[in-house]
Amino acid sequence: MRVDGRINGREHVLDVAPSTLLLDLLRDLGLTGAKPSCELEVCGACTVQLDGLPVSACTTLAIELDGRSVETVEGLAPSDDRLHPVQQAFLKHSALQCGFCTPGMVMSAKALLETNPAPSRDDVVHWLEGSICRCTGYEPIVDAVLEAAGAMAHG
């Protein structure tokens, strides 16, 4: 099937099988930030934004990209020498260890801050319930999201 969609701001015309998952399509294109893990929409490691909303790429069909836009963690940094505020805050707060969950956490956090630019600590905790980290504990992650909220609010 022909799929016309935008990936990280670039137009793509792709030929995909009807059963191809968005996660597999992205990884085949070299965008490996979204990770295969649970394959059940439970862990959040494959989170990307489809038309600005967080989705699990492991359960989203690639054909759903047709006429739409997807953003992955690879598309966040505004330039090679500047990170997105969420990425910068994750680094500052050491909100990662092995890094496996980090791209999905970052994409989920970005989606939260786009819908709620001034979340409470409880809002962040609730929003990230669908993202599982097995290394860091969640305190540095929550702290990073709250700092990114302030950075994004101030431009």
Q: What is the pLDDT of residues 7-66, one digit of tens each?
A: 999 999 999 999 999 999 999 999 999 999 998 889 999 999 999 999 999 999 999 999
Instruction: Burial-class residue 39 by CB neighbours within 10 Å (0-12, 13-18, 19+).
Output: middle
CATH number of 85-153: 1.10.150.120
The architecture of the domain spanning 2-75 is: Roll (3.10)
- Mean pLDDT across the chain: 95
Q: How confident is the model at residue 134 (pLDDT cuts 50, 70, 90)?
A: confident
Domain ranges of the chain: 2-75, 85-153
CA atoms of 117 and 1, how far apart (whole Å): 38
Q: Which of 1-10, 52-61, 103-112, 134-143 has the lowest mean pLDDT?
A: 134-143
